[in-house]
């Protein structure tokens, strides 16, 4: 049996966060990139819709971060986010993402951030037995159930996807 790849430091931080929450042995580091939903689905062998995209938005006024975990098959509707939050919503730049998550775009996990983030989860993810989330690096992912995603993030399932 082939030995698994050693985890990068960022992926190890996600593994440590999972282990601390009672979910050991879950992060998988791939040799090919899993930065986009399409790349991740191809590497894993699952549907694009089963990929959890962790997207950070900036709420104004105030500049607080909002984590939206979207299905890989969906685009987020910022008007729906504005209606849910009652605030103006804008996509965050890479520096804002790293500041509030501790991770770079392309590998942002749904957990392991310096502070808990307000989180909305695309309700389309709730239909699957298993989904896959980024694990800190552009090549790392981990499997979990939608119920575990809700528990790990403290997020709430919402209709956040653009129609169509």
- The CATH number linked to 131 is 3.90.960.10
Nearest to 75 by CA among 139, 159, 133: 159
Tell me whether residue 3 is in a domain. no
The one-digit pLDDT tens for each residue of the chain (164 residues) are: 455 668 999 999 999 999 999 987 799 998 888 888 999 999 999 999 999 999 999 999 999 999 999 999 999 999 999 999 999 999 999 999 999 999 999 899 999 999 999 999 999 999 999 999 999 999 999 999 999 999 999 999 999 999 86
Tell me whether residue 68 is in a domain. yes
Tell me whether residue 164 is in a domain. no
Q: How many domains does the chain have?
A: 1
C-beta pairs of 32-35 under 8 Å, 24+ apart in sequence: 32/139, 33/138, 33/139, 34/134, 34/138, 34/139, 34/140, 34/141, 35/106, 35/107, 35/138
pTM summary value: 0.94
Cβ contacts of residue 137 below 8 Å, gap of 6+? 8, 10, 11, 29, 107
Rounded to whole angstroms, how far apart are CA atoms 69 and 13? 19
Tell me whether residue 133 is in a domain. yes
What is the residue range of 142's domain?
9-158
Tell me whether residue 87 is in a domain. yes
Tell me whether residue 23 is in a domain. yes
Rounded to whole angstroms, how far apart are CA atoms 164 and 162? 6
Tell me whether residue 134 is in a domain. yes
Tell me whether residue 2 is in a domain. no
């Amino acid at each position: 049996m082939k030995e698994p790849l050693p985890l990068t430091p960022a992926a190890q931080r996600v593994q440590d966060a999972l282990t601390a929450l009672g979910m050991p042995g879950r992060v998988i580091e791939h040799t090919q990139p899993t930065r986009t939903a399409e790349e991740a689905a191809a590497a894993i062998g699952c549907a694009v819709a089963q990929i959890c995209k962790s997207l950070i938005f900036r709420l104004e006024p105030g500049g607080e971060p909002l984590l939206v975990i979207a299905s890989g098959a969906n685009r987020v509707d910022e008007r729906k986010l504005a209606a849910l939050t009652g605030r103006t919503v804008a996509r965050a730049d890479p520096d804002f993402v790293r500041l509030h998550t501790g991770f770079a775009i392309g590998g942002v996990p749904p957990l392991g951030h310096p502070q808990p983030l307000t989180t909305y989860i695309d309700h389309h993810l709730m239909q699957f037995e298993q989904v896959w989330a980024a694990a800190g690096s552009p090549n790392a992912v981990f499997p979990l159930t939608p119920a575990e995603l809700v528990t790990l993030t403290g997020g709430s399932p919402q209709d956040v996807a653009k129609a169509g």
